[in-house]
Amino acid sequence: MQHKDTQVWQLDARCPEPAVIDRAAAIIKAGGLVAFPTETVYGLGANGLDPAAVAGIYRAKGRPSDNPLILHVADRAMAHRLSHRLPPAAALLMETFWPGPLTLVVPRAGEIPRQVTGGLDTVALRMPDHPVALALIKAAGVPVAAPSANRSGRPSPTTARHVWADLQGRVDAILDGGPAGLGVESTVLDLTGPQPLILRPGGVTCEQLARLLPDVALDPAALGEKTASCQAPRSPGMKYIHYAPAAPLILFEGELPRVQQAMQRRAAELLAAGRRVGLLVSEETAAGWPGAAHLLTLGSRRNPARAAALLFARLRRFDRLPVDIILAEGIPGRGLGLAVMNRLRRAASEIVRC
């Protein structure tokens, strides 16, 4: 692909400068690519109604063409124009969780390019809870197709520096609004079937959804198991390897004492064989590891929100450390912990259940 000079514009995330937003919106309207912050991670945006612009997202990321994108909207009126039939539950969910980290899969309107939906008859819609993102969509006047602003398969970006590392020379501009807050992507909820189905856990938890939708269910793929299905994925993050650091990652799950013992044995074996080991652990287990290993923590096991905020930055940090392999400790899969475990399982080359 043709390389270009990527511009980086810093702005106040709480009150983004209109002149900067207008310049970025002009790029979107002209068919270009702009990376921007949301409350979850940084997104790579293009005009969601322009097939050529959407194709540019896939090229920049190296993303498989059957992996659908999320259309980001500025308000509910825009969402209504993008679906020929919003399910009854959509209004309640929008009122409760929008703007916010919840993506709704609904029947698509005819004007939406197939490049956005991965060839499906459904479309994924979200209203982000970030002043920069909302200002950009409003100024552009179109729904903005925006997956995470990283090379396909890599850890998602939570800072503009992460975007630059992956996409410099592949996008027109990066809006630097500081670190993303939540740290993991939105929850994706499919409303097109007989019951609401969580396709990807994220910033809105299963427990929160169940209080509004008692019959909500979790798609088995949402647990994070990689599949070899030939079917097109119904949501981002369902089929392909995602979030992976450069070094292979081995994830250890189960009761904490057994996880600790198994990780310590594997670390000792690898170090004895001359391998350079990285360790991703909780604060509760951070003491007592071999000094030769490179250790990073995800915070307390009792604080999954902290783990979510740190996860992708930690995985990217390992890329800058001299490690050949990473051993990661799983955390309890409740609340936001389910989203963290989904990402770790997708990133893992091996899962050890203790």
AA letter at 219: D
Q: 156 labelled as ligand-binding?
A: yes
Which residues, in sequence order, are CB contacts of 14 under 8 Å at separation 6+?
131
- CA 305/CA 310 separation, integer angstroms: 9
200 is in an annotated binding site: yes
Annotated binding-site residue? 83: no
Task: Please check if 23 is assigned to a binding site.
Answer: no
Residue 115 CA: distances (Å) to CA of 25, 33, 47: 21, 15, 12
Strand pairing of 217-218 and 197-200? parallel
Burial of 215 per CB tally in 10 Å (0-12, 13-18, 19+) = exposed
Nearest C-alpha neighbor of 94 from the set 111, 114, 77 = 77
Q: How far is Cα 100 from Cα 130, in angstroms, rounded to an integer?
A: 8
**Is 96 a known ligand-binding residue?**
no
Whether residue 305 is annotated as binding a ligand: the answer is no
Half-sphere exposure of 305 (CA within 13 A, CB side): 6
d(CA 29, CA 141) in angstroms, rounded, equals 8
Q: Tokens at residue 92, please?
A: 């309640």
Is 186 annotated to bind a ligand? Reply is yes
Tell me if 242 is assigned to a ligand binding site: no
Coil vs helix vs strand at 189: strand
Contacting residues for 303 by C-beta, under 8 A, at least 6 apart: none
Binding site per annotation, positions for L-threonine: 40, 72, 122, 126, 146, 186
Binding site per annotation, positions for ATP: 63, 67, 148, 156, 200, 243
Binding site per annotation, positions: 40, 63, 67, 72, 122, 126, 146, 148, 156, 186, 200, 243
